[in-house]
Chains A and B, each alone.
Chain A
Amino acid sequence: MKKLLSFFPALLALVLLSNFTDGPAGYQVGDKVADFKLKNIDGKMMSLADNKAAKGYIVVFTCNTCPYAKAYESRIIELHQKYAPQGYPVVAINPNDPATVPGDSYAEMKARAASKKYPFAYLQDETQQVARTYGATRTPHLYVVSKRGADMVVSYIGAIDDNSEDAKLVKTKYVEQAMTDILAGKPAATSSTKAIGCTIKWKKA
């Protein structure tokens, strides 16, 4: 009986923990982000801290294979061209398991970046730990992080704009709206939006 009772706290802890993981996973706007070290398509490892001049980053979880990611590819390049000179370069991270999606292998990432002349870093999240830490669920899934003293803080999470299929029909450019506020030193008026995308292809446990 005693033995059984001593089980209860452990059981309770387990239940509490599992409830906890059901809650909102990953970063929310305002959270401090942990730096990462991921392999770029140029073979070098990259961290957010590497670029001392950056005021922040536009971090996009994206991939080679998702139709939504492809539809947004040139708009992601445009975001970099517009905001890198203002201190917010794009960092693209591919979190997909290449064993599930061969088109998202490191070699394919290099090929895609070369053929589309990516002006930004394209990193492979090999362990998928960064995507999990951020709470990314799909591609594309975008986060704006901004430097606050020694920290990087999440300023915006969500969609690029309101029309994935046709850039010409876009009415609201969510990221650009947020960036206007962020660059003016204000919190984004709309700091989180929803977007559709392909589920991240997680490694089979």
Chain B
Amino acid sequence: MKLFPILFLAAGLLVAAPGHAQRVSVIKLPELQKRLSRQNDTTYVVNFWATWCAPCVKELPLFEQLNTTHAGKKVKVLLVSMDYASQLDKKVKPFVLKRGLKSEVVLLNETDPNTYMEQVDPKWSGALPFTVIWNGKKSKRATFEKEFTQAELSAEINKFLL
């Protein structure tokens, strides 16, 4: 009888096992800020997007590709969905599943952009997509309020890997 919850947990772990796929955690600003200030030798590529944002959706594969093209080069991609938290199960999770996104996906659950944007980056005017690339150990940081081409994105990331 007691085995049931354990089996259930095990099954759950198995489902959650393949990377971050199909798991989207909902985070608040302090958690995001913590992630945006890690001081190690990994180059973080944080892309702010939304399922309704056509240019964002179009460039997502570029960020996804980094997981293979830059594997073993200490590059980590974080996709921050700006969809409303109410759309998590209806839109975001199905989207992540359908696209088979391998990068970690989180949903930023904050309502007042005037407060959180300034703290993410003062240069962010409010348009999506928005991308922050940084490396804590090298004290290097760059922000982009635009859609990338593959060449542009590789060039920008390579500047961090010198």
What are 24 A-B pairs at a CB distance below 8 A?
A67-B52, A137-B127, A138-B125, A138-B127, A162-B112, A162-B115, A165-B84, A171-B112, A174-B114, A193-B114, A194-B118, A194-B124, A194-B126, A195-B114, A196-B82, A196-B117, A197-B126, A197-B127, A197-B128, A198-B53, A199-B55, A199-B128, A199-B147, A200-B127
> Which of the four size classes fits the interface of chain B?
20 to 34
Could you give, for residues 2-32 of chain A, a 1 whenever the CB lies within 8 Å of some chain B CB and a 0 otherwise? 0000000000000000000000000000000
Q: Does B113 contact A (CB under 8 A)?
A: yes
- Per DSSP, chain B at the interface is loop
Q: How many A residues face the partner with a CB closer than 8 A?
A: 23
Q: How far is the CA of A169 from the CA of B84 in the complex (A)?
A: 13
Q: How far is the CA of A171 from the CA of B52 in the complex (A)?
A: 25
- The answer, among B86, B111, B114, B146, for a CB contact under 8 Å with A194, is B114
Could you give, for residues 169-205 of chain A, a 1 whenever the CB lies within 8 Å of some chain B CB and a 0 otherwise? 1011010000000000000000001111111100000
Residue positions of B touching A, CB distance < 8 A? 52-53, 55, 82, 84, 86, 111-115, 117-118, 124-129, 145-147
- The answer, among A163, A197, A199, for a CB contact under 8 Å with B111, is A163
Q: How far is the CA of A194 from the CA of B111 in the complex (A)?
A: 12
A159-B126, A199-B129 known, 13 other contacts, Cβ within 8 Å: A66-B52, A137-B126, A137-B145, A138-B127, A162-B111, A162-B113, A162-B115, A171-B112, A194-B118, A194-B126, A196-B82, A197-B127, A199-B127
Shortest beta-carbon distance, B155 to chain A, in Å? 17
Q: Does A95 contact B (CB under 8 A)?
A: no
Contact B128 A164 (CB under 8 A): no
Residues of B within 8 A of A171 (CB): 112
Residues of B within 8 A of A172 (CB): 112
- Per DSSP, chain A at the interface is loop
Q: How far is the CA of A197 from the CA of B117 in the complex (A)?
A: 12
Could you give, for residues 141-166 of chain A, a 1 whenever the CB lies within 8 Å of some chain B CB and a 0 otherwise? 10000000000000000110011110
Nearest first, the 10 A-B pairs at minimum CB distance are: A162-B112, A193-B114, A138-B127, A194-B117, A199-B127, A163-B111, A196-B113, A137-B127, A67-B52, A165-B84
Report the nearest B residue to A70, measured CB to CB.
Answer: B52
Q: How far is the CA of A200 from the CA of B124 in the complex (A)?
A: 15
Q: How far is the CA of A171 from the CA of B147 in the complex (A)?
A: 32
Residues of A within 8 A of B53 (CB): 198-199
